[in-house]
Amino acid sequence: MNVPSRHRSFGSDRRRSRIVGVAASLVVFAASTACAGGAESTTLRVSGSTTVNPVAADAAKILRDRGMSITVDTQGGSAGGLTQLAAGQIDIAMSSKPVGDAERRQHPKVTFTTTEIGQDAVGIVIRRNVYDGGVKSLSRQQLRRLFEGKVANWRELGGPDVPVYVYDKEPGRGTREVLDAFMYGKGVTAPPPPNSGRYAIVGGNEEGRTKTASTDGAVTPLSVAFAQGHPALAVVAVDGITPSPENVRTGKYSLARPLLLVTDGPPKGEARRFIDFVLSTPGQELVTKHGYLNLENLGRR
C-alpha cells in the first residue's frame, strides 16, 4: 500500500522540479536577453568594404582602449555593408564606392549619408613574370577583352607565352563597379561573366591577392594598397597612366574611388565619435598607413 503512495509522491516532486526548472530557465533567458539588448544598444557595429576595413579596424582598436565597444566586419563588401545598414543591422557601412541611385531606389526610407575619409586607386594587378615579360600598360579596350574572357594568352597583348587566368570581383564590390564604369561607362550594365575555365570570381582583396600571387599568368582588379610589398605582383599602367598618388589626386588616373563611412542620416552618438576620430589627425594617419590618400593628400585640409 505504501508503494503507490511513494510513486505518487515522486511524481509530484518531479512535476514541481519541472516547474521550478522552467521558471529558472525563463529568468536566465530574460536576463540574457536584457544583456543582449544592452549590448546591441551600446556596441557600435561597422561592416562592409574590405578596402576600408584596415583603417576602420585600426581605429576601432584605438577607441576600444578608450572604452568604446565596437565590432568591425566585412560581410559582402561595400554592397553588403549598405544592405546591412538599410536593414538596421549595423550603424556604419564601409564603402569603397559611391552610394548609387540603385541603392537609394532600393531603400527609399534610408537617408544614406556619406563621409569621405580618403581615396584609393583600383589597380590592374598581374603576376610579376607577365609584367617582366612585357605587359607594362593596358588600354581600356584590352581590359575589356581580358575581363570578357577573350584573351587566352598574354602574348596576344605583347607579353610572354603564358595562359591568362582572370580573377574578377563579385558583383556589388566597390572594386568591380569602378572597373566596370571605366570599361563600359557609368550606368552601363557589364556583360555576364564568361563561361571559361580561365575565369573565376573572388570576394575580398585578400582572396584576390592570394590567388593572383599563386597563379601563373593571373590578373585581378585590386586595391593598389593591397598589392604593395608583394614581390610576386605588379601593377600595370592604364592607358599609359600609373596609379601614382599624384595621378590619383589630380584625377588623371581614372580608376580611383572614394573611401566612405556611410550612416543612415547624419551620424550621431558613438557613430559620430568613431567618424570624428577617423577624420582627426591620428585617424587620417591610419589612412596613409595603409597606402591610401588621406584628405590632406587630396588637398582638402
- 45-119+257-289 belongs to which homologous superfamily? Periplasmic binding protein-like II (3.40.190.10)
For cell 584573351, the residue is 151
Q: For the chain, give every domain's residue range.
A: 45-119+257-289, 120-250
Q: What is the pLDDT of residue 165?
A: 97
Q: Kindly give the parts of the chain with pLDDT less than 70.
A: 1-41
Q: What is the pLDDT of residue 66?
A: 96
**Assessment of whether the complete model's pTM goes beyond 0.75:** yes
Q: What is the pLDDT of residue 90?
A: 98
Q: What is the pLDDT of residue 41?
A: 52
* Calpha distance 225→53 (Å, rounded): 12
Distances (CA, A) of 104 to 83, 85, 87, 135, 262: 11, 12, 13, 40, 13
Q: What is the pLDDT of residue 26?
A: 36
| CA atoms within a 13 Å half-sphere pointing along the CA-CB vector of 133 | 19
CATH architecture assignment, domain 120-250: 3-Layer(aba) Sandwich (3.40)
Q: What is the pLDDT of residue 171?
A: 80
* Calpha distance 163→177 (Å, rounded): 26
